[in-house]
Amino acid sequence: MEHATLLIILACAFGFFMAWGIGANDVANAMGTSVGSRALTIKQAFIIAVIFEFLGATLAGGQVTQTIQKGIIDASLLADSPEILVYGMIAALLATGTWLLAATYLGWPVSTTHTIIGSLVGFGAVIIGVSAVQWSQVSVIAISWVLSPLLGGIFAYLLFISVQTLIFNTTDPFRNAKRYVPFYMFLVGFIITLVTTAKGLKHLGLPLTGFQSVLIAVGVGALVACIGSLFLRRIKIDPKANRRFHFASVERVFAVLMVFTACATAFAHGSNDVANAVGPLAAVVNIVGTGDVLGQAPVPFWALLLGATGIVIGLVTYGHKVITTVGKKITHLTPSRGFAATLGAATTVVLASGTGLPVSTTHVLVGAILGVGMARGIAALNMRVVNQIFLSWVVTLPAGAFLSVLFFYLLRSLFNH
């Protein structure tokens, strides 16, 4: 293909730019609750996110990447002009990166998944024709956008109610917190490991049977619970803090748990959202290399690595704006509430990542925070901020579509001269 090297360089550059946007905007999904509940400082949150986002993206990011790469547009319609699909994928990456940069500047937690799919649908419908868009696949994904905040909210609500029942509404909350929190730690380790081993390791050449996956997940869950229990032993009742806030010492127990759930969510986020940047990039590399728009090439590991690096740099350089919105402006979070929201979100995201459904991490986590807020009554929510967030979600899809069409025409005019 003509200009092959330049096209791959552009795809890598815009893929990296988009991954940077994911880190800058979506990192709030992984870290906002931890920072907002004061379980972690922003510096500690960054260190955890850097490690676990990177691991999630490189170890478990392959499954969803296939859906983004092949599931949205009927590539067979472009068999005779593969360069059109290449321009479209590059335009989609640039469009998504641009919208994420604008939204982050405004402090809006928008959906990267929404944006990239909007970009691909816009390009497919306008440039190739409405029939090029695989609407059945898009409708399945669209249903997941409604289901994801709902499921995140339900999981978080049930977790928070269980915390209230087992710990806060008892005669000795501190003793019960120390008794039950290790079980929650086991749950964190078990859920994340199960989905990673069952689905995420296949593209690394490490397929495991269902029984082996469960066995490993139980082992990791038990290890997490044991390590967590060692930390919990150090925590003693603080009478002075308890006078200021009745449950202060209990919340310190949950702050330890929040460290583990923050790791889990960062991993879950990396596994699901790296696909958004790497899917179109992998498609470009494959088409430029072979000229075949239908070839099912595996996602190259270096592409996952590029996406993971971009996410991490975006998070460290510009992640603080959206962290503030998610962690502090929707509802008042304590470590116990933050834990329920975070684990509720992580569970939803890793299950979706395991089934190849690209849910929006943003929608899941905001849904989970709303679920925790609702457990305390509607008055606990800042409805002005919630409405702003919902509005930004509505705008995201058409914004992605418009920008990708604009950038496509720019790219085509540049390369056709």
Burial class of residue 171 (count of CB atoms within 10 Å of its CB; 0-12, 13-18, 19+): exposed
In angstroms, the CA 84 to CA 82 distance is: 5
Length of the chain: 417
Residue type, 87: Y
> Could you tell me if 132 and 377 are in contact, meaning their C-beta atoms sit under 8 angstroms apart?
no
CB–CB of 192/260 below 8 Å? no
Predicted local confidence at residue 91, as pLDDT: 95
Question: Rounded to whole angstroms, how far apart are CA atoms 328 and 299?
Answer: 37
Computed from CA positions of residues 324, 328, 333, 334, in that sequence, does the dihedral angle turn out positive or negative?
positive
DSSP state of 234: T
**Nearest to residue 112, comparing CAs of 295, 314, 305?**
314
Q: Tokens for 84?
A: 């059109």
The rounded Cα 220 to chain-centroid distance in angstroms is 22
Predicted confidence at residue 266, as pLDDT, reads: 82
Residue-level pLDDT at 407: 97
| CA nearest neighbour of 325 among 18, 33, 19, 20 | 33
What is the predicted pLDDT for the residue at 103? Answer: 93
Single-letter code of the amino acid located at 13: A
Map tokens 């704006």 to a residue: 321
> 368-380 burial string, b = 16+ CB within 10 Å, else e?
bbbbbbbbeeeee
Distance CA 359, CA 71 (A): 14
Instruction: Please state, in angstroms and rounded to a whole number, the distance separating the CA atoms of residues 169 and 332.
Output: 20
Q: What is the DSSP string of 323-386?
A: HHIIIIISB---HHHHHHHHHHHHHHHHHHHHHT----HHHHHHHHHHHHHHTT-GGGB-HHHH
Question: pTM above the 0.85 mark?
Answer: no
pLDDT at 1: 63
Per-residue pLDDT of the chain (417 residues; tens, 9 = 90+): 678 889 999 999 999 999 999 989 987 667 888 888 888 888 888 898 888 888 887 776 666 556 555 567 887 888 888 888 899 989 999 999 999 999 999 888 888 878 888 898 999 999 888 988 888 877 877 777 778 888 889 989 999 999 999 999 999 999 999 999 999 999 988 887 876 676 555 555 666 777 888 899 899 999 999 998 998 888 888 888 777 777 888 998 898 888 888 887 788 777 767 777 787 888 888 888 887 777 666 677 888 889 888 988 998 889 888 888 888 888 888 899 988 988 888 788 777 766 777 677 788 888 999 999 888 777 788 888 888 888 888 888 889 999 999 999 999 999 875
Instruction: In whole angstroms, give the CA distance from residue 88 to residue 412.
Output: 9
Beta bridge partners of 357: none
State residue 402's pLDDT score: 96
Q: 3-state class of 48 per DSSP?
A: helix
Contacts of 172 (CB under 8 A, 6+ apart): none
